[in-house]
């Protein structure tokens, strides 16, 4: 199994994807790790703090972000993946991309997982690349595109619609020959969703267990935290502890893979939450 973890293990101990943005314009840490050596150093720090996977991204997907070319994305991510693989032969590396050519070259450079925010719909060649490679994939739900997804998202029943979309995309990948054990699913908090939609998804997350796939979530440092707190905006430095709180709640609701910027506090929150869950299960 590509995740190197069984569902039973995931139920007992969630895993952390440490965010490594090699972009000039990401909403929280843009331009900090454009230098490949600084990026690798940060990856090593995240791993030392408890990350299980390093998620390398070369294109910002913040609301309103412009897309970048394949060539530019490759220029940003491939040197980092190559250095990481050379320095840490056993590390699990994810590439955050929806472009098939970027995924193909990242896999050749050493990536183990493709984290696709379009669930394979952003590039018709993605499914073929994944099928031939044998790597893992995270399929995420997003209404619209990063440039426009925040403008006017609409749902009749956000939980049912997102669940059905993820089931459909997962089943299509399986029918195409990709083993179910290679697939994780992400409801896409904040991607084409208003505050009420995000809250509905959070409360309805236990329903996603019916999909029988690992559930990945990414809420780290997002603007949804400010909205939950009733702020028009919230400085990035003040988003850590709200993130940690939601990490604990989402773990309790059944999430198993967490994409975060601040690894250590979120890892500690997960372990405490899991200690409580384990005690609960013993008492049943």
Kindly write down the DSSP assignment for every residue of 149-165, as one continuous string. TTS----SSHHHHHHHH
CATH for 7-283 is 3.20.20.20
Active site residue 222: yes
Nearest one of 247, 274, 260 to 53, comparing CA atoms: 260
Q: Which residue has the tokens 């996977």?
A: 53
Per-residue pLDDT of 174-229, as tens digits, reads 999 999 999 999 999 999 999 899 999 999 999 999 999 999 999 998 888 888 88
- The pLDDT value recorded for residue 279 is 86
115 bridge partner residues: 96, 138
E strands along 228-284, which residues?
257-260
Nearest to 188 by CA among 121, 118, 102, 114: 118
Closest CA to 166 of 127, 213, 131: 213
In this prediction, residue 226 carries a pLDDT of 83
pTM of the entire structure?
Answer: 0.91
CB atoms within 10 A of CB 90: 5
In sequence order, what are the beta bridge partners of 92? Answer: 53
CA atoms within 13 A of residue 259's CA, in its CB half-sphere? 26
User: Residue 36 has what DSSP assignment?
Assistant: H
DSSP letter at 33 equals: T
Residues counted in the chain: 284
**pLDDT at residue 132 greater than cutoff 80:** yes
**pLDDT, tens only, 83-108:** 999 999 999 999 999 999 999 999 99
Is residue 259 flagged as an active site residue? yes
What are the pLDDT digits (tens) for 247-259? 999 999 999 999 9
Catalytic residue among 169, 222, 239, 251: 222
Q: Bridge partners of 137?
A: 114, 183
């Amino acid at each position: 199994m590509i995740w190197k973890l069984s569902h039973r293990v995931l139920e007992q101990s969630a895993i952390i994807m440490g965010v490594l943005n090699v972009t000039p314009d990401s909403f929280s840490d843009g331009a900090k790790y454009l230098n490949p050596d600084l990026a690798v150093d940060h990856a090593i720090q995240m791993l030392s703090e408890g990350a299980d996977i390093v998620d390398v991204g070369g294109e910002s997907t913040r609301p309103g972000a412009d897309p970048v070319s394949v060539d530019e994305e490759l220029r940003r991510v491939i040197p980092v993946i190559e250095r990481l693989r050379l320095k840490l032969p056993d590390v699990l590396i994810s590439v955050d991309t929806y472009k098939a050519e970027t995924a193909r070259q990242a896999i050749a450079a050493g990536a183990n997982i493709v984290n696709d925010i379009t669930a394979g719909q952003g590039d018709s060649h993605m499914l073929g690349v994944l099928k031939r490679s044998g790597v893992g994939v995270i399929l995420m739900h997003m209404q619209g595109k990063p440039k426009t997804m925040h403008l006017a998202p609409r749902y009749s029943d956000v939980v049912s619609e997102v669940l059905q979309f993820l089931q459909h995309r997962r089943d299509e990948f399986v029918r195409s020959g990709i083993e179910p054990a290679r697939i994780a699913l992400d409801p896409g908090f904040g991607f084409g969703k208003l505050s009420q939609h995000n809250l509905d998804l959070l409360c309805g997350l236990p329903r996603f267990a019916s999909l029988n796939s690992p559930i990945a979530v990414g809420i780290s440092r997002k603007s949804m935290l400010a909205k939950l707190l009733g702020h028009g905006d919230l400085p990035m430095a003040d988003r850590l502890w709200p993130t940690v709180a939601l990490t604990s709640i989402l773990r309790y609701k059944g999430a198993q893979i967490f994409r975060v910027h601040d690894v250590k506090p979120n890892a500690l929150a997960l372990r405490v939450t899991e200690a409580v869950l384990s005690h609960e299960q013993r008492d049943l």
